[in-house]
Chain A
Amino acid sequence: MSTEALFNLNAAGIAYIVSAILFILGLKRLGSPATARTGNRLSALAMLLAVLATVFSNDIASWEWILVGVIVGSGIGAYSARKVQMTSMPQLVAIFNGLGGATSAVVAAGELIRLIDLEELIPQDVSITIMASVIVGGATLTGSLIAYGKLQGVVPTRPLLLPIRHVINTVLLLGMIGSTAWFVIDPSISAFLTAAIMAVALGILIVIPIGGADMPVVIALLNSYSGIAGAATGFVLGNNILIIAGSLVGASGLILTRIMTKAMNRSLVNVMLGGFGVDDSTMGASGDDERPVTSILPEDAALILGYAQSVIFVPGYGLAVAQAQHQVRELADLLKIKGITVKYAIHPVAGRMPGHMNVLLAEANVPYDELKDLDEINGEFSSTDVAVVIGANDVTNPSARNDKSSPIYGMPILNVDQAQSVIMMKRSMSSGFAGVQNELFFLEKTQMLFGDAKNSVEKIVGEIKDL
C-alpha cells in the first residue's frame, strides 16, 4: 500500500471517530425540544462527514452508477419528506425502516459477489455476518412493507392467522440456521439466496398476524432491526462507524419498543404471537350494555367549559382521524383568554406511533410545554374541573385500575375519572381497540357528546364566543 493510500485510510478513520461523536451529541440534543433541531442537524453533518471520508479514502472505479443512485435516492427521499402528511408519519417511518433493511441486504449481496469474484477463501466470521445482514435486512424489508400496508389499510388490519403458522415459522427459522451453516461451509450464491428468500417470507409471516392496534410496537421494533442490520453490515465490512451508528439506532428502537409494550400492558412475546383483537365479535357483546349514559349537546359543553377554571384535553387517535387538532387549539386559545388553565394529557399510545399525537398537536400550533405525559398529568386530574376526552377510549378506562377481571387490567391509564366532571366526545357507544366497554361512560360525572369531533368542537367554539 502506498503511503498516500495509508494516509487516506488513517484520515478516514479519524473522520469516522468525529462522525461517531457527532451522532452521539446529535442524539443527546434530542433530550429537549429546544435543542432538538440543532441535534438533528449535527447528525446530518455526521452523516455527510462519514460519506465524504468514505468517498475520498477509496479509489472509486466508476462514478456513473453511484451518481445515479445518489440522485434518484435523494430525489425520492426529499420528495416524500416534503409531501408526507403528519397523520401518515407512521407509514413513512415504516417504509424507511424497510429500505434501511433492504440496503443492508443488498450491500451483503454485493460484498459476497465481489468476494466470490476474487476467488479467495471467505473467512467464517465474514460469511456469518453476511448471512446476519441479509437475514435481518430481508425480514426488516418485508415486515416493514406489511406494517405499512396495515397502517395504510392496503393489507387488512385485523390479524390474519394461518392455521399452522407457528410450524411454518419454526421451519423457516430452522431453514435459515441450516442455510447459514451451509453458507459457512460453502459460501455460494445459492445458499445466500435460500436464506434471503426465507428471511423475506419470515418478515411477512411475522407481521401479518399482528393486529393494526399493535403497529406502534411493530414499527419501533423494526426501527431497531434496521439499526441492527446496519451494525451487522459493519461487521461484514469491518467498519466501525457502521457498527456504532447501527447500534445507536438498535438501542433506540428497543427502548421505544419497551415503552410501547409497557403502555399497552402487553409483553413483547404476546404482541409478536399476534392475534390480539381477533375475538372482537365475542367481546363486542358488552356493547349491548343497556345502562343509561348522560348525553349533552355542544351548547351544554360550552357552558360547562366556559365556567370552568381548569381544563385538561385528552386527545386520542380519533381526534387526528377527524382532523380536529386545529379546532381544539382554537377552543383552548379561547379558554385561555378567559383565564382558564388548559393542559393536554398525552398517553404513550395516543397516536399510531410513539410520540405521534405530540407531533399532530405541534402541527396545530399547540405549544409543547402544554403537552403532559402520563406521569406528569395523572396527579392533576383530581384538582381539575373538566376533562375533555376527544377520540380516546381504552386509555381512559378506569377498569384498567379497578377491575381485575378486565382484559385491560394493569394497563397504565390517564385518571380522567378523577376530574370533577368529564366530557366524552365520541361518535358512538362502540368499544375501543381492546373490545372492552369503558366504565367511564356510565359515571354520574360523565357527559357524552356524540358526533364528529371536529364538528362538535367547532360548535363549542362558536357558543363560547357568544357567552
Chain B
Amino acid sequence: MFDLQTLIVALTVFVLAIFIGYEVITKVPPTLHTPLMSGSNAISGIVIVGALLVASKADGLISQILGAIAVGLAMINVVGGFMVTDRMLKMFKRSDGKES
C-alpha cells in the first residue's frame, strides 16, 4: 500500500525502464528475434515475485490455493522460457563451426 508520492516514484521507474528497454532491444538483430521473445517471456515470469509475496502472506485456504496457482503458472514461464531459449541459442553457430 502506498501514497501518491510512491506512486510517482513507481511511475518514474516505469517510464525510465521502458526507455532502457527500447534502447537495448532495438539493438537485437532480427536473427535473434525468436529467442528474444521466448527469453523476454521468461523475464515476464518475474510476476513470480508477486506470486510469492501473495502466497507468503496468505492465511485462508482460498488465498493459499490462489498463491500456489500463481507460483505454479509463473514457474512454467520462468523455467520453460529460459530453458527453451537456451535450447535455441545453443543451435546458433558460425560458419567456422565455433559454437555461439
Contact = CB atoms under 8 A, between A and B. Distances in A.
A373 B33 CA distance: 12
Interface residues of A, number: 114
A235 B6 CA distance: 10
B14 A247 contact: yes
Contacts of B58: 61-62, 65, 110, 114
Given A37-B90, A238-B2, A256 B37 contact: yes
B53 A250 contact: no
B74 A103 contact: yes
B55 A40 contact: no
Contacts of B56: 54-55, 58-61, 66
A249 B28 CA distance: 13
B71 A73 contact: yes
6 contacts: A27-B24, A30-B28, A106-B51, A110-B55, A248-B43, A365-B93
Interface string B21-42: 1101111111111111111111
B70 A242 contact: no
Contacts of B90: 37
A285 interface: no
Contacts of A78: 79-80, 83
A76 interface: yes
Contacts of B25: 27, 248, 251-252, 255
Given A234-B14, A256-B37, A355-B36, 8 more contacts: A39-B39, A47-B48, A54-B49, A76-B80, A103-B47, A107-B70, A113-B60, A248-B21
Report whether over half of chain A's contact residues are helix, strand or loop; otherwise say mixed.
helix
Contacts of B10: 234-235, 238, 240, 243
Contacts of A218: none
A58 B46 contact: no
B76 A77 contact: yes
A347 to B, nearest CB: 10
A346 B31 contact: yes
B82 A44 contact: yes
Contacts of B87: 81-82
A205 to B, nearest CB: 23
A356 B35 CA distance: 9
